[in-house]
Amino acid sequence: MNVSKKTTQILLLSAALTLSTVAPAFADDGGTTPPSSPTAVLSTGSAPALGQVTVNGSSFFELKNVTILPEKGSKTVTFTVSVHNEGTTDLLFIDYWPRVKTKSGNQISVRILPQDKDKNKITPKSVQDISFYATVNETTELTDLIFQFIKWDFSQPNFERTIGEVAVPDNYSIVTAANDAHLINMGGTEVKTSIKKMLMTKNEKNFTPTVILNMENVGSRTAAVPAYQFLIRTSEGYMYPLDAKNLKDLAINPQVNKEVELTGSVPVSVSTEGWQLVVTQNAADIKLNLPIAYFELPLVSEPDTVDSNKEYNFTNKEGTYTTKLNSFQRLPMEDQDILSANLTLLNKGTDSLPLPELTGHFLLDDKVKVEAKLIQTDKVIGLPSGSSASFQFIGKMPYTYQFSNVKLVLQEKTGEKETEDLLEFAHRSELLNMPYFNVGEVYKNTDVGRNASYQVRSVKTYSGDTADIFTVQLETTNLEKRYNDVSKLVAQFKTGDGSIYPATVSEIKNKITPGGKAMLVLSSTLPKGFPTSNMNVMIGEAVTDNKFSTEKDTADAYVNAVGFWLPNESFVAQDDLLNVDLFPYTFSVNKINTWLDREKLKLTFNYELTKNLLMSFNTEGRKLVIGLEDENGNKSFMREFDFKDFDQIDVTTDTDVSKDTKIRLGKRDGFVIEERDQDLIFHLETLRTYKLSIYDSFQGQKKLLATKTIDWFSTTD
């Protein structure tokens, strides 16, 4: 009897430990869980210690680094237990466990961070930090929480004994003041992190904040900076992502400072009071973003010399011109960077003016000259009174070269080799940023003759055996009053750590009607399982030999660059086969039946295929894949149906639709897929259910969209 009771206690204890430490299954986040991939060592911040609980004798647990991060429909709480073993023997943490509850008594499940799961034995006279996380509902605040520490005790009815608890005080704050530093533990090395300054520009729609983050390695070893995500958090609780410069492969040697520039976009309708910088790290193993630090942002610094949007005049023999600098950008392009300056030339006089023969160059820190080439972006041949025209100057430089200030020296060509200086426009390196558009926002290009808008519709990852194809569907609208070609674009994906992946842009070969739309597919091959949750996409109008690229040209530069933050991707397949999104098509299947004889298996169904007729698109490389898989592995096969066949009529069927083996637009009853199999009939006794699945295939790689479990030889509704 005693043996049985002891065995039961051990099993219950084992189960309790297993439930407490196991990594969670996919979170219920609306189907936005990304593919898993190995993650870097997770960082921890340095939020204040909240209290201690005595373990035995002089040993104790200290609760610290308690912080919280709002997520979609929930919040993630992280905390660290610092185990101080002041005794003379090993302290085994497996004998203890932390619990979290609300002050109203609700229990919250706690899990250990994967990197700390093997931390159990704390040797005498040593300290070990062990970090945990928990998910709470979106209304829970840190001050609602109580942290409880228990010891497993077989003499207690529930096999545990509470040894102490620590409540979060009402005045507890996790936000670092504007002039203070925050210590971040990066893989065992402490890095003192602070906000150096904040700059801000503004247009009619958005603020563009630039935050200069200073990192000082105060440890004794080199610190490798992880691919953090940075966000602006407003006083209303809105979160806006920031793009980080100079973060890729950033390593900081001991006693060395490094600066990281962060820039993003916040709508002008949002108050600028009380902004915070939030630093998070994606923990791919547990499918969560974990909070690392919060910073109060300082007051906006006044820029030294920035000539953007100020009007200046110059005069030549033709008359007086007004010009202004619209933007200055530094853009990635393969193994180089592009310097790009966007100018507007205005005629404020009463007479028409010809376009001057402009030229110019860039000057870095008043010393290094970079040749610039001129591109006329507006389709105009002169300047009538009251009109304007846009120009771009572009130059190339090594992507590794750093500078503080840049000037555009604007000149006019007066002879075959002679030029005359007209104006100089100065700018700071921290403000060489492209505008970023948040999820759902629309970018409008207003250049004369090229008026168009762009908006990200969705993202899709097509999985392969060794690599993935990541795609973005970009919707563009022709805002001109005439038929117009879709501008040739250069596109690149940028990851959280600053890595750049060039993207291929699908071609739209026909002209678009006024107000008409086209869907562009931007695609790039990424490593298998690569996390895409913090990526953005950059686009710009392609340039070849100082003019806008045509369909057949290979781009050597680009202008008018903007960035888009990407929406979360759904990785959850729908559980029915109706209204499956194969944009620009929608596909529905019903009345599914299987039939088997000694020679073949027949799969029959009714389908309806519809099409968005208001959108131009290129479906090259796209296929619909239908797959069948028996639950016991007796049978599986797939059939591919090319998108290019959907709009075609098969003249070989002699009007006998039943002979057509391709899927076409419209409705069709009794469509048949045949699979030859002479052995399946001998497995009838094990044929229970099968899954019928629909995939979207792109360039040979697939994404599961919908799947349904069906009984063999039955007919579905």
Contacts of 276 (CB under 8 A, 6+ apart): 175, 232, 233, 294, 295, 296, 297
Quote the CA–CA distance of 132 and 78 in Å, as a whole number: 6
- pLDDT tens for 254-283 read 999 999 999 999 998 999 999 999 999 988
Question: How much is the average pLDDT of 650-669?
Answer: 73
DSSP 488-503: PEEEEEE-TT--EEEE
From residue 508, how far is each of 308, 485, 511, 666 by CA, in Å?
Answer: 35, 8, 8, 24
pTM score, whole prediction: 0.79
CATH class of domain segment(s) 580-711: mainly beta
Which residue, among 554, 535, 534, has the nearest Cα to 544 in the 3D structure?
554
pLDDT at 32: 40
pLDDT at 307: 64
CATH code for the structural domain at 175-296: 2.60.40.1240
Please report which confidence band the pLDDT of residue 23 belongs to, taking 50, 70 and 90 as the band edges.
Answer: very low
Distance of CA 349 to the CA centre of its chain: 48
Does position 25 have pLDDT exceeding 70, yes or no? Answer: no
DSSP 608-627: EEEE-TTEEE--TTEEEEEE
Please give the structure tokens belonging to residue 654: 């002699």
Does position 669 have pLDDT exceeding 70, yes or no? Answer: yes
CATH code for the structural domain at 2-30+48-167: 2.60.40
DSSP for residue 400: T
Please give the structure tokens belonging to residue 441: 């926002």
Give Dmax (Cα) for the chain. Answer: 110
Phi, psi of 281 (to 5 degrees): -135, 135
Place of tokens 């619209």: 326
Quote the CA–CA distance of 394 and 408 in Å, as a whole number: 10
Contacts of 424 (CB under 8 A, 6+ apart): 407, 408, 409, 410
Q: 149: helix, coil or strand?
A: strand
Does position 658 have pLDDT exceeding 70, yes or no? Answer: no
Strand partners of residue 373:
394
Place of tokens 């992502």: 241
- pLDDT tens for 58-115 read 899 999 999 999 887 889 999 999 999 999 999 999 999 999 999 988 999 999 999 8
Angle at 599 between CA 595 and CA 600, to 5 degrees: 40
CB 377 within 8 Å of CB 450: yes
CB 237 within 8 Å of CB 271: no
Does position 434 have pLDDT exceeding 90, yes or no? Answer: no
pLDDT at 121: 92
Q: Architecture of 436-565 per CATH? A: Sandwich (2.60)
Q: Matching CATH topology for 2-30+48-167 and 175-296?
A: yes
Place of tokens 């065992």: 188
- pLDDT tens for 496-555 read 778 889 999 998 988 999 999 999 999 999 988 888 878 899 999 999 987 888 888 888
Element (H or E) spanning 568, and its range? none
Q: Where are the domains of the chain?
A: 2-30+48-167, 175-296, 311-431, 436-565, 580-711
CATH class of domain segment(s) 311-431: mainly beta
Q: What percent of the chain has pLDDT over 90?
A: 52
Q: 224: helix, coil or strand?
A: strand
Angle at 635 between CA 632 and CA 640, to 5 degrees: 130
Quote the CA–CA distance of 688 and 630 in Å, as a whole number: 8
